[in-house]
Homo-oligomer: A and B are copies of this chain.
Amino acid sequence: MSEHPSNEEWLFDYQLLSKLVIGIGEVSDITGLPTRKIRYWEDKGIIQSKKDCEGGTRKYSYLDIKKIILIQELLADGYTLDAAAKKVENRIKNINQTMLGLSKYLDQQD
């Protein structure tokens, strides 16, 4: 009973969460964007994937997908790609702050 971390801690494993990187096909399935478009946005610098090497496969994290979904919404609202990208950056910074704060909070629990 005391040998394990609490259920909450076990559930919100940030270290693990940040390692969860998925392929471009899954991103396409989740977001509804064709892979071609995802690569195009990346070529334009709107989003960034992780690649271990040239010619290797692109990997996307949870926050990358969040970002893509947010950009989609802004585009539907009438923003240009560049404008949407700029707007999203601010929100991402905000999220990172929250994530950091929450992480610290959880660390001092138990």
B26 x A21 contact (CB < 8 A): yes
**Docked-complex contact B98 and A8, CB < 8 angstroms:** yes
Flag if B16 contacts A30 (CB, 8 Å).
Answer: yes
Which residues of chain B have C-beta atoms less than 8 A from A10's C-beta?
Answer: 66, 95
Which residue of B has the minimal Cβ distance to A101? B7
Q: Oligomeric state, in number of copies? A: 2
Task: Give min CB distance, A92 to chain B, whole Å.
Answer: 10
In the complex the two chains form, what is the Cα distance from A30 to B18 in whole Å?
A: 11
A-B contacts, 20 of them at CB < 8 A, read A4-B91, A7-B97, A8-B98, A10-B95, A11-B95, A11-B102, A12-B12, A13-B66, A16-B62, A16-B65, A16-B66, A16-B69, A19-B29, A19-B30, A20-B22, A20-B30, A21-B26, A22-B23, A22-B26, A26-B59
